[in-house]
């Protein structure tokens, strides 16, 4: 089956005054039709920048340097800005982390939804578009949509804003949605509702979903396949189940250990240190300064992403020797 | 998964509370919210009243004032240098000006300079600040440096110099507009700092990124999402600028660099200050007018900055 999205060797760097930040440094990533893929990693691992790169809306001073991004076989990086504009929203869409800032505070919900609807369906009258806006609100389960539609963002709760942000991203029925930390700023109960909504919509609209998150719990709940990023590079790729049961990369193990469990009495393990400075990343394997299993080879040589029989891939020199703990 | 099912009674209560809250808040744009908060601010309202009062006078002064501007009629009537009376409520100057008429006409002159110079400064400052904030590179840096240079220049001496040079070189009668332009052309730097900073802030917000992500054009992102969101600090600054510009005009005239052919508060104060001991009314009434106008605009500015401050939610 051909992939909906296929990224090869993507490099997106930020040319800041302090130096070149290698936010995404050679990432391969693909998403199949109807698939839900997780993109996991700490802040600064390159998850969001990957999404922004696909839409080609990387803010300056960031720039895509190398790689190919194919959507339905078409190379997105060779498209003109005008062509990209037609793809954004209608074919590929993205929702953003913070629902309190992802809606413009100056316009009503109706206004903002109508704007998107008419962007991609030029002939539509205002009335038809606001009818469409109403349908969108119903689709994402906003209670009393006829009242909410006239509201301004500050009059709504965080969960509602996130639902509306999702409905806006889906206004033109894209086939691929990047959901960037859709639940990070929400209450736990609302988180579950938003995840369920995304799952529902994915099935109903037959779209693919890329779930960008650092929360392994969300990954377990919503995805079929996971890609773990560390410091702008791919650490591990696997079926979600396989990744949880049998992690192959020490970083994945550390991420799994950092998830609180109510069924086990154990101390929560934190990953020592911070994500490395991406201007001067550590040599060799970028994870080696924080890795409990690191040996000399780890800072001498960059590990390549190796595939096992079942398609499970890991970028670690010692994946054969280590027996890592899953959950 | 937990659905939103609650006991009947609690749902009813919640619905009532929600309805009440909605009646209060539904469809309240940021401007409506700001106005509601401004209304509760007594000082701000007083300021607004003062400002509207002066605006009314500025618009109607030709009909309100008993004497035309710069008319020394009282001298010919033998009433020069007289204290306030029924005929001359604010008295007359030694040269024969009816101070009441001069204060009314001066309102028009000073608001013209105060508002006009602010408009000029805001336009220049917005353009330069916007470009400086939007272009990351040498161009933006140069404009930022330019703003800093203008910020460090001592404004008053420079304006005095230009005013004197121009009034010698250029024909008379250009006076007030000249001062207006000088104040605007040299006073934009703080506006440009604010605009630049706001653009740098707003352009990073998620909704800007979000509107790009659904296919909005660059033009739409800038004019529909960025510009309207940076207006509030500009409005606040502009209000305070008007007060500052009125005061500067008075200072310029007081120092003898003003336009003697036009009625302004500064000119009247300047002409009366020499005889202050015996004829106190000549400088005091225009001085009071200046005080009130500056106070009014400052109160409105402060009220606006409270009302529009998102961190002071009620």
- Reported as a single tens digit per residue, the pLDDT across A139-150 is 888 888 888 888
Residues of chain B with C-beta less than 8 angstroms from the C-beta of A120: 215
Picking from B220, B215, B225, the residue whose alpha carbon sits closest to that of residue A92 is: B215
State the sign of the Cα–Cα–Cα–Cα dihedral A158, A161, A167, A171.
Answer: negative
Domain assignment present for residue B38? The answer is no
Is some CB atom of chain A closer than 8 A to the CB atom of B204? yes
Nearest CA in chain A to B231: A106
What is the domain range of residue B232? Answer: 54-78+90-307
Domain assignment present for residue B58? The answer is yes
Whether A57 and B212 lie within 8 Å, measured CB to CB: yes
pLDDT the model gives residue B11: 57
Residues of chain B with C-beta less than 8 angstroms from the C-beta of A136: none
Nearest CA in chain B to A82: B217
Place B6 in a pLDDT band, splitting at 50, 70 and 90: very low
What count of other Cβ atoms lies within 10 Å of the Cβ of residue B158?
13
Domain assignment present for residue B276? The answer is yes
Whether B214 and A119 lie within 8 Å, measured CB to CB: yes
Separation of alpha carbons A225 and B214, rounded Å: 26
Chain B stretch 90-129, residues whose beta carbon is closer than 8 A to a beta carbon of chain A: none
pLDDT the model gives residue B17: 54
Edge-to-edge strands of the sheet including A74-75? A19-31, A5-16, A62-71, A74-75
Residues of chain B with C-beta less than 8 angstroms from the C-beta of A88: 212-215
| 8 A C-beta contact, residue B252 and residue B258 | yes
Per-residue buried b or exposed e for B170-204, using 16+ beta carbons within 10 Å of the residue's own CB:
eeeeebbebbbbbbbebbbbbbbbbbbebbeebbe
| CATH code assigned at B124 | 1.10.3720.10
- Reported as a single tens digit per residue, the pLDDT across B114-137 is 999 999 999 999 999 988 887 777
Mean pLDDT of chain A, nearest integer = 87
Of A260-264, A289-293, B4-8, B133-137, give the range with the top mean pLDDT.
A289-293
Picking from B91, B31, B67, B55, the residue whose alpha carbon sits closest to that of residue B242 is: B55
Within 8 A by CB and 6+ apart from A282, the residues are: A276, A288, A289, A299
Residue range B138-162: average pLDDT?
87
Separation of alpha carbons A112 and A131, rounded Å: 13
Separation in Å, CA of B205 to nearest CA in chain A: 6
Domain assignment present for residue B47? The answer is no
pLDDT the model gives residue B172: 59
Residue A253 vs residues A184, A244, A273, A327: alpha-carbon distances, Å: 22, 9, 16, 9
User: What residues of A are in the B interface, CB distance below 8 Å?
Assistant: 52, 55, 57, 59-61, 85-90, 93-98, 101-106, 108, 115-116, 119-120, 147, 150-152, 154-155, 165, 168-169, 171-172, 189, 192-193, 196
Place B1 in a pLDDT band, splitting at 50, 70 and 90: very low
Mean pLDDT of chain B, nearest integer = 84
pLDDT the model gives residue B314: 47
What count of other Cβ atoms lies within 10 Å of the Cβ of residue B136?
15
User: Among the residues of B214-280, which ranges form H helices?
Assistant: 218-220, 227-254, 265-272
Per-residue pLDDT for A219 more than 80? yes
The structural domain count of chain B equals 1
Separation in Å, CA of A151 to nearest CA in chain B: 5
pLDDT the model gives residue A326: 75
| 8 A C-beta contact, residue B183 and residue B113 | yes
ipTM, interface predicted TM-score of the complex: 0.81
Domain assignment present for residue B122? The answer is yes
Of A63-77, A155-169, A267-281, B284-298, give the range with the top mean pLDDT.
B284-298
- Reported as a single tens digit per residue, the pLDDT across A91-111 is 999 998 888 888 988 888 998
- Candidate from A173-187, A221-235, B2-16, B28-42 with smallest mean pLDDT: B2-16
| 8 A C-beta contact, residue A321 and residue A244 | no
Is some CB atom of chain A closer than 8 A to the CB atom of B212? yes
Domain assignment present for residue B15? The answer is no
Separation of alpha carbons A263 and A243, rounded Å: 20
Q: Is A218 left (phi over 0), alpha (psi -120 to 50) or beta?
A: alpha
pTM of the predicted model as reported, rounded to 2 decimal places: 0.76
Separation in Å, CA of A321 to nearest CA in chain B: 41
Per-residue pLDDT for B12 more than 60? no
- Reported as a single tens digit per residue, the pLDDT across B238-293 is 999 999 999 999 999 888 888 888 889 999 999 888 888 888 999 999 999 999 99
In terms of residues, how long is chain A?
327
Q: Is B154 helix (H, G, I), strand (E, B) or coil?
A: coil
Residues of chain A with C-beta less than 8 angstroms from the C-beta of B229: 104-106
Place of tokens 């240098």: B81
Candidates B134, B203, B215: best to mutate against A (most CBs of A within 10 A) is B215
Place B5 in a pLDDT band, splitting at 50, 70 and 90: very low
Domain assignment present for residue B41? The answer is no
Residue with the larger pLDDT of the pair B37 and B59:
B59
Domain assignment present for residue B96? The answer is yes
- Reported as a single tens digit per residue, the pLDDT across A130-171 is 888 998 898 888 888 888 888 888 888 888 898 899 999 988
Separation in Å, CA of B136 to nearest CA in chain A: 8
Per-residue pLDDT for B59 more than 70? yes
Candidates B34, B213, B225: best to mutate against A (most CBs of A within 10 A) is B213
Separation of alpha carbons A151 and A227, rounded Å: 38
């Amino acid at each position: 089956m051909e992939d909906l999205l296929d990224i090869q060797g993507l490099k997106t760097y930020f040319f800041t005054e302090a130096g070149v930040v290698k936010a995404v440094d050679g990432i391969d990533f693909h998403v199949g039709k109807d698939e839900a893929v997780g993109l996991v990693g700490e802040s600064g691992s390159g998850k969001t920048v990957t999404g922004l790169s696909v839409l080609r809306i990387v803010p300056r001073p960031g720039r895509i340097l190398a790689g190919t991004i194919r959507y339905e076989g078409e190379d997105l990086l060779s498209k003109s800005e005008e062509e990209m504009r037609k793809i954004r929203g209608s074919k590929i869409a993205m929702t953003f982390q913070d629902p309190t800032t992802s809606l413009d505070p100056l316009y009503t919900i109706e206004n903002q939804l109508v704007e998107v609807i008419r962007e991609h369906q030029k002939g539509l009258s205002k009335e038809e578009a606001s009818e469409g806006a109403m349908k969108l609100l119903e689709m994402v389960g906003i209670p009393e949509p006829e009242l909410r539609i006239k509201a301004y963002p500050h009059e709504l709760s965080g969960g509602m804003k996130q639902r509306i942000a999702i409905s806006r991203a889906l206004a033109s029925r894209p086939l691929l949605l990047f959901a960037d930390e859709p639940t990070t700023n929400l209450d736990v109960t609302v988180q579950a509702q938003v995840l369920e909504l995304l799952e529902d919509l994915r099935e109903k609209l037959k779209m693919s979903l890329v779930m960008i998150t650092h929360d392994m719990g969300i990954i377990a709940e919503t995805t079929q396949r996971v890609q773990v990023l560390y410091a702008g590079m791919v650490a591990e790729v696997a079926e979600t189940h396989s990744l949880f049961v049998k992690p192959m990369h020490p970083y994945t193990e550390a991420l799994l250990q950092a998830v609180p469990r109510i069924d086990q009495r154990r101390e929560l393990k934190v990953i020592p240190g911070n994500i490395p400075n991406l201007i001067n990343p550590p040599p060799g394997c970028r994870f080696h300064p924080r890795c409990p299993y690191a040996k000399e080879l780890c800072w001498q040589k960059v590990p390549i992403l190796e595939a096992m029989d079942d398609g499970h891939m890991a970028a670690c020199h010692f994946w054969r020797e280590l027996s890592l703990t899953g959950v | 998964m937990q659905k939103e099912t609650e006991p009947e009674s609690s749902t009813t209560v919640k619905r009532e509370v929600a309805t009440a809250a909605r009646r209060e808040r539904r469809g309240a744009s940021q401007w409506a919210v700001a106005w509601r908060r401004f209304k509760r601010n007594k000082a701000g309202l007083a300021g607004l009243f003062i400002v509207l009062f002066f605006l009314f006078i500025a618009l109607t002064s030709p009909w309100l004032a008993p004497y035309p501007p710069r008319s020394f009629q009282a001298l010919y009537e033998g009433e020069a240098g007289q204290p306030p009376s029924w005929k001359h409520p604010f008295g007359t100057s030694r040269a024969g000006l009816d101070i009441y008429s001069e204060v009314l006409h001066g309102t028009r002159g000073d608001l013209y300079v105060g508002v006009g110079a602010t408009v000029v400064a805001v336009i220049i400052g917005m353009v330069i600040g916007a470009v400086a904030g939007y272009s990351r590179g040498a161009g933006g840096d140069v404009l930022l440096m330019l703003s800093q240079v203008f910020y460090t220049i001592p404004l008053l001496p420079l304006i005095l110099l230009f005013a004197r040079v121009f009034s010698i070189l250029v024909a008379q009668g250009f006076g007030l507009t000249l001062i207006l332009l000088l104040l605007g052309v040299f006073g934009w730097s703080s506006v440009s700092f604010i605009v630049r900073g706001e653009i740098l802030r707003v352009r990073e917000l998620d909704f800007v990124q979000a509107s790009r992500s659904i296919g909005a054009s660059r033009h739409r992102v800038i004019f529909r999402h960025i510009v309207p969101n940076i207006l509030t600090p500009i409005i606040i600054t502009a209000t305070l600028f008007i007060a500052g510009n009125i005061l500067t005009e008075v200072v310029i005239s007081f120092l003898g660099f003003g336009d003697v052919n036009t009625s302004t508060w500064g000119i009247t104060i300047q002409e009366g200050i020499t005889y202050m001991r015996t004829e106190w009314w000549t400088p005091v009434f225009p001085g009071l007018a200046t005080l009130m106008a500056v106070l009014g605009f400052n109160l409105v500015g402060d009220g606006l900055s409270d009302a529009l401050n998102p961190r002071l939610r009620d």
